[in-house]
A and B are shown apart, each in its own frame.
Chain A
Amino acid sequence: MSDIKADSKLDTSGKCCPMPIVETNMAMKKINRGEILEITATDPGTLTDIPSWCERSGHTLMESGESDGVMQFYVKKG
């Protein structure tokens, strides 16, 4: 578990591409700049998709981790 306190959470468990990125974009629109979104995912594609999406979109991937096939990402809105 991370010590980072998320302002909003999104659980995409069980869903596959394109939905984790589609839903992450939607969730990001609902939070304010500087706030943190915690994303939970089981699609292994998110391991590459989320970091590259952060880089393109100007958001900051603060932390990510994987345990038993469940990925968690903490993204600060830029």
Chain B
Amino acid sequence: MKSLAIVVREDGYDKLLTPLAFAYLQGAEGTQVDLLFVNWAVRALTEEGAKGQVIQGEHADQDGWVRQQVEKAGLPPDIYDVIQALKATDNVNFYACSLAASIFGVNEDNLVPEASGIVGASWFLNEKAAKAEHCQYF
């Protein structure tokens, strides 16, 4: 696979793990991976938001156990550390949706340096998603 576009909508520690793990797999293999964070998930592209990701809902009481399992599996247990590891592959780009950024309080000042910027959804859908070999939504 040469290119992969991923739209990440759901936030929460456990819900972010799968798209990030998929991006890590493909980025390490040399695939160009572009992720657009929309809705609540955009806050994961701030340091505070990334570090503040927790497991919500019925599995909330298992947050600590899941983090231990993630660390045991070899992944960094914090979402921000995972984002940094993905960026280090040189093949993964993170984008914040401009609408989501506006609604959920993400701007150029609090956006993590690993992110490539705040972009319009139209640009991402046409320039990244439509041109990617494969597209996924989480």
A and B are interacting partners:
yes
What is the interface of chain A, defined by CB distance below 8 A to chain B?
Answer: 12, 14-19, 21-23, 25-26, 53, 56-57
Interface stretch of the complex, out of B5-13, B22-30, B97-105, B127-135 = B22-30
Hey, which chain B residues are within 8 Å of A19, CB to CB?
Answer: 73-75
Check if B72 is an interface residue, CB within 8 A of chain A. yes
B60 CB–A CB distance under 8 Å: no
B residues sitting closer than 8 Å to A (CB atoms) are: 21-22, 24-25, 28-30, 72-75
Task: Please indicate the chain A residues that have their CB under 8 angstroms from the CB of B72 in the complex.
Answer: 14, 16
Q: Which residues of A contact B30 (CB under 8 A)?
A: 25
A16 touches B73 (CB 8 A): yes
* A26 contact set on B, CB distance < 8 A: 28
Cα-based distance from A57 to B28 in the complex (angstroms): 12
Q: How many A-B residue pairs have CB under 8 A?
A: 34
Is the CB–CB distance between B28 and A14 below 8 Å?
Answer: no
CB of B74, distance to nearest CB on chain A (Å): 3
- Min Cβ gap B99→A in Å is 30
Closest 10 interchain pairs by CB? Answer: A19-B74, A15-B74, A16-B73, A22-B28, A18-B25, A25-B28, A18-B21, A18-B24, A21-B25, A25-B29
Residues of B within 8 A of A57 (CB): 29
Q: Which of A14, A25, A53, A56 contacts B74 (CB 8 A)?
A: A14
What are some 22 contacts across the A-B interface (CB < 8 A)? A12-B74, A14-B74, A15-B73, A15-B74, A16-B74, A17-B21, A17-B25, A17-B73, A18-B22, A18-B24, A18-B25, A18-B28, A19-B73, A19-B75, A21-B25, A21-B29, A22-B28, A25-B28, A25-B29, A26-B28, A56-B29, A57-B29
Nearest neighbor of B20 in chain A, beta-carbon distance? A18
